[in-house]
């Protein structure tokens, strides 16, 4: 091995180490920024805490029946799950863990989407790290406790599933309208059922398309 080859190998290793340190720093920054969850916003005090306490006092079934919780039915079930952490975490932290969790899921899908465009190299890791460390992302979840990412994760799963967040909103709106008209709790469950059916149909449809594509590729390769 010549001196130039050794120098090239050392240079490549140095670049790899620098890139690795940069990625670790990005993810560490995003993680540290999400450790500070103590800020109580107007939404937390006026809505989230009231919903949270209502579930603790009366149970999730009563809270859902009274239709006191905003957002979509899918959110209700996830939000009710945060009350299980009440004995071990402050409620402001327990509630904010929900959008923070979806920050992690969104980061994973950012990586997967960029990996489709760049199947080789570390660019997908940088894209995911930059997304995870964006102030607009961690402030929205860890500071403000906003739940925007929840309905968008399905769209990250596959851009063709953009209709899923719309379905969540539509079914919730229909359920709310029927409930307010007839004061019946059943539409709450109808909304969740509609969400589930639409999601399953779209996933099965996409799986079928992917299977057919793989078959066509296999047939094409066998011919050649």
104-163: pLDDT as tens digits: 988 888 888 888 888 888 889 999 999 899 888 888 889 888 877 776 665 555 545 444
Please return the burial class of 95, using the count of CB atoms within 10 Å of its CB with bins 0-12, 13-18 and 19+.
buried
- Whether 87 and 202 have beta carbons less than 8 Å apart is answered as no
pLDDT given at position 224: 53
Mean pLDDT of 186-191: 52
CA distance 135 to 191: 34
Whether residue 209 has pLDDT greater than 50? yes
Instruction: Check whether 179 has a pLDDT greater than 50.
Output: no
Which residue, among 105, 110, 135, 103, has the nearest Cα to 125 in the 3D structure? 110
Domain ranges of the chain: 26-217
Measure the CA–CA gap between 186 and 72, rounded to whole angstroms.
14
Q: How far is CA 184 from CA 64, 175, 176, in A?
A: 11, 10, 10
Distant-in-sequence contacts of 134-137, Cβ < 8 A, 24+ apart: 135/33, 137/30, 137/103, 137/106
Residue 180 confidence (pLDDT) above 50: no
- Residue 3 to residue 173: CA distance in whole angstroms: 70
CA distance 111 to 103: 12
- φ, ψ at 49 (rounded to 5°): -65, -35
Alpha carbon distance 28, 132 (integer Å): 10
211/190 Cα distance (integer angstroms)? 31
Question: Which residues lie closer than 8 Å to 165 by C-beta, 6 or more apart?
Answer: 151, 152, 154, 155
pLDDT for 17-47, tens place per residue?
788 898 999 999 999 999 988 888 888 888 8
E strand residue ranges, 57-152:
none
CA 126 to the chain's CA centroid: 19
pLDDT in tens, 49-93: 988 998 899 888 887 777 666 676 778 888 989 999 999 999 999
């Amino acid at each position: 091995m010549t001196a130039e080859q050794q120098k090239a190998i050392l240079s490549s290793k140095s670049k790899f180490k620098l890139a690795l340190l940069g990625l670790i720093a990005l993810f560490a920054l995003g993680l540290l920024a999400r450790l500070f969850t103590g800020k109580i916003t107007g939404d937390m005090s006026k809505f989230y805490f009231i919903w949270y306490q209502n579930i603790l006092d009366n149970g999730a079934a009563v809270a859902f029946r009274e239709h006191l919780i905003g957002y979509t039915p899918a959110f209700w079930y996830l939000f009710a799950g945060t009350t299980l952490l009440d004995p071990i975490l402050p409620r402001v932290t327990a509630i904010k863990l929900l959008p923070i969790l979806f920050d992690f899921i969104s980061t994973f899908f950012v990586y997967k989407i960029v990996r489709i465009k760049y199947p080789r190299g570390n660019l997908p890791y940088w894209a995911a790290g930059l997304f995870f460390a964006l102030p607009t992302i961690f402030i929205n979840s860890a500071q403000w406790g906003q739940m925007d990412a929840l309905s968008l994760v399905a769209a990250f799963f596959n851009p063709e599933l953009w209709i899923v967040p719309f379905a969540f909103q539509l079914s919730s709106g229909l359920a709310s309208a029927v409930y307010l008209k007839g004061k019946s709790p059943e539409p709450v469950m109808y909304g969740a059922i509609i969400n589930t059916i639409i999601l399953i149909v779209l996933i099965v449809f996409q799986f079928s398309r992917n299977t057919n594509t793989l078959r066509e590729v296999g047939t094409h390769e066998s011919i050649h």
